[in-house]
Chain A
Amino acid sequence: MSSSRDFVRFLLPVVVLAAGIALWELVVRVNDIQPYVLPGPSAVFQTLVADWPVLSESLGVTLLTTLEGFIAAAIGGVALALLFNQSKWLEYSLFPYAVILQVTPVIAIAPLLLIYLQQQTAVIVCAWIVAFFPVLSNTTLGLNSVDRNLAGLFSLYGASRLQTLRYLKLPAALPYILGGLRIAGGLSLIGAVVAEIAAGTAGAGSGLAFRIAESGYRLNIPRMFAALLLLSVAGIVIYGLLALISHLVLRRWHESALRKEN
């Protein structure tokens, strides 16, 4: 019963996608729309294949930036949350600035960063700025969600701060941390793209977003679509990978990863 339901859930979006692509192609052909106005899906696909050497290199650059930004965000977010958890003073002093960094639109910060930092560094910093906050706030939430009785048990058995952190707080916070990382994965891609776009006008980049900006100036619309498609797929893959990791880590014990009964 449920497997046929799963099949339908998988099938429906695929049908919608296929219908959308067919309709798009049809509209382009029937109205004889030029590729520099709106390329059909077949033209986009042809460009993707023809321009693969250029596009794949750009994809590699963007993915590397995203990965670096993501790792920096993961380490930075968790480390800051741990520091805040150990010292209230530190939390009170610094947390407002983490919020300010988060609420200021990164697209407005990017040009400034590009002035003061090397481009590659600036792009990674952008990715970090956008992505670290969900890790920080989720980890903080997780560290504060420890079962009170378990905490009592640890103090009864004379656990040190480090032991409490390692054996109680971190495992208890793990589902929250993984949730934060899942958000951060997508956000670091956004951060990388924003910074590349901002830098792209200066003409020194080579990532996918730079390709989009560059192709725009050249009215190479099919390539814009092809690059956009790659970015989209990259985002989906990143999210899927992180969701998979989260599931594998939590499947033995956490409610979120358990199959529903009956």
Chain B
Amino acid sequence: MAGPALSEADAMAVRLGDVTKVYDNGVAALGPLDLDVKRGEFVSLLGPSGCGKSTALRLIAGLTTPSSGVVGVSQPANETRAGHAIGFVFQEPTLMPWASVRDNVRLPLKLAGMPPTEADRRISEALAQVALSEFAAAYPRELSGGMKMRVSLARALVTRPDILLMDEPFAALDEITRFRLNNDLLELWRKLNMTVIFVTHSVFESVYLSQRVVVMSSRPGRVSAEFRIDTPEPRVEDFRMSASYAAYCREVSQALVPSYSGPTSV
């Protein structure tokens, strides 16, 4: 995995220090980037395509290594929590088409060598969390886009991760399905007490979901602005309709203006 682990006493779940990423072809994708995410925090990374927000997520997950700088990720709160400290949800559902919903969700546990009875309990729990218990025997192709995404979410949750990384998970879904999944995600986050880092290019989604919106600029990707979204918890559909939500969206949108009005933008 990437970099040194953060100590148990540390209140940080993820800490990126001066991290850069330069690809083999010489393209500087990221950085230098500094980002601290507290335990239990819900942070969105918002920015235009190619600003390196997905790269940042892959660095945290250990799917790629930084060219320089330090990536620190906290260890699981306790060992029995089992499986994995990090859950990852990709932009596509990324399910195995040959396996049923249940077996797709089972994958992380199977790879970790968990005994089947314990695994079965966990899987049922994860499927119940995303309201898919009835579809355990279905195959991915038999499900709608939104349901496939739920399966992907259940697979990430089944290891009971401390940190959930989500890479534009709802970008390909229709607005109505997305709103519903947004609410479901918020509910899960409150209930499971996870740290969530959510990559998106939707201002509205980022403001609705997060406690903190980190706006990134492109080539190379860095933090260009940060917004704290202070609103009474729990957030419900009312927040989406409120004046303060609209005000936050306007504010965040303004921070994005340079990334599409500059002379070099596409």
Q: A: which residues have CB within 8 A of B?
A: 147, 149-150, 152-159, 163, 167-168, 171-172, 174, 252-254, 258
Contact = CB atoms under 8 A, between A and B. Distances in A.
Nearest to B90: A149
Q: Which of A153, A154, A155 neighbours the largest number of chain B CB atoms within 10 Å of its CB?
A: A153
Interface of B: 58, 61-63, 84, 86, 88, 90, 92, 94, 96-99, 107-108, 110-112, 139-141, 159
Contact of A167 (B88, B90, B107, B112): B107
Contacts of A253: 97-98, 139-141
29 contacts: A147-B94, A149-B94, A150-B94, A150-B96, A152-B58, A152-B90, A153-B88, A153-B90, A153-B94, A154-B111, A156-B63, A156-B86, A157-B84, A157-B112, A158-B84, A158-B111, A158-B112, A159-B111, A167-B107, A167-B111, A171-B99, A252-B98, A252-B139, A253-B97, A253-B98, A253-B139, A253-B140, A254-B97, A258-B141
Contacts of A155: 63
A153 B107 CA distance: 10
Nearest to A153: B94
Secondary structure class of chain B's binding surface, majority of residues: loop
A165 B110 CA distance: 14
B62 A156 contact: yes
A152 B63 contact: yes
Contacts of B58: 152
Given A157-B107, A252-B139, A253-B139, A171 B98 contact: yes
Contacts of A149: 90, 92, 94
A163 B139 CA distance: 21
B112 to A, nearest CB: 7
A167 B111 CA distance: 9
A150 to B, nearest CB: 6
Contacts of B99: 171
Contacts of B92: 149
A147 B107 CA distance: 15
Q: List the 6 closest pairs (A to B, CB-CB), nearest first.
A: A149-B94, A171-B98, A253-B97, A157-B111, A157-B108, A159-B111
